[in-house]
Amino acid sequence: MGRDRNKGEYLIQGPSGKNTFVEVKSPGWEGELSDEERKGGRLRQEKYLAFEGRAVAPWKAIQFAVDKAYKKFATDIPNLLIVADDLFLPLRYDTAIHAEEALYETRNNGCFIDARYANLGGVGVFWIENDGRQIWYEIRLFLNPHALRSTMLPDDIRLGFHGQENPSADRNSTRAAGYPAETPFQRWLREGV
């Protein structure tokens, strides 16, 4: 149960036994259409049309999802927002770039540049991969360096999903400000065997 008795999609628990409240948002290509396109009937057409081109800003969908979900995040439990999109240019392409623009860049009023979203421990961008023979799931986890201690993601979630703060700040770091420094054992877990 989230803030003001709002329900999320999941309550997950890693090996640490600590609960994490999860809300999922799925922004779609329909939200990228202009009012003119909507009035013109574009919603009744296929997502991709031959020879159609357009300017897109997928990072804005992350900010929209954070804004829309934020009211659900309580201050007494770790909170995670998962974004599983259906945009014209899906977030799975150049994920770190779009997350950086949405969350960490001051020029875009990034969600994680200050404590405005302190109830949110992190944002995960989720998608399904397929090579024609098998299907698997991918997630990129981006941490909020200004999260309250009580809303920070537990180490097992943060390290298990290779959580990182501001991907361009330090490509080799998974330490977010406010999160405890990584131990050698945690680094071994993150890097794998």
Q: Are strands 79-83 and 122-130 parallel, antiparallel or unpaired?
A: parallel
Note down the domain range covering 126.
3-191
Give the pLDDT of residue 134: 93
List, in sequence order, the alpha helices (H) in the chain. 35-39, 59-69, 95-99, 155-160, 184-191
Domain total of the chain: 1
Name the residue among 46, 75, 72 with its Cα closest to residue 147. Answer: 75
* pLDDT tens track, the chain, 193 positions: 666 677 778 899 989 899 999 999 999 999 999 999 999 999 999 999 999 888 889 999 999 999 999 999 999 999 999 999 999 999 999 999 999 999 999 999 999 999 999 999 999 999 999 899 999 999 999 999 999 999 999 999 998 888 877 776 654 444 444 555 666 665 666 565 4
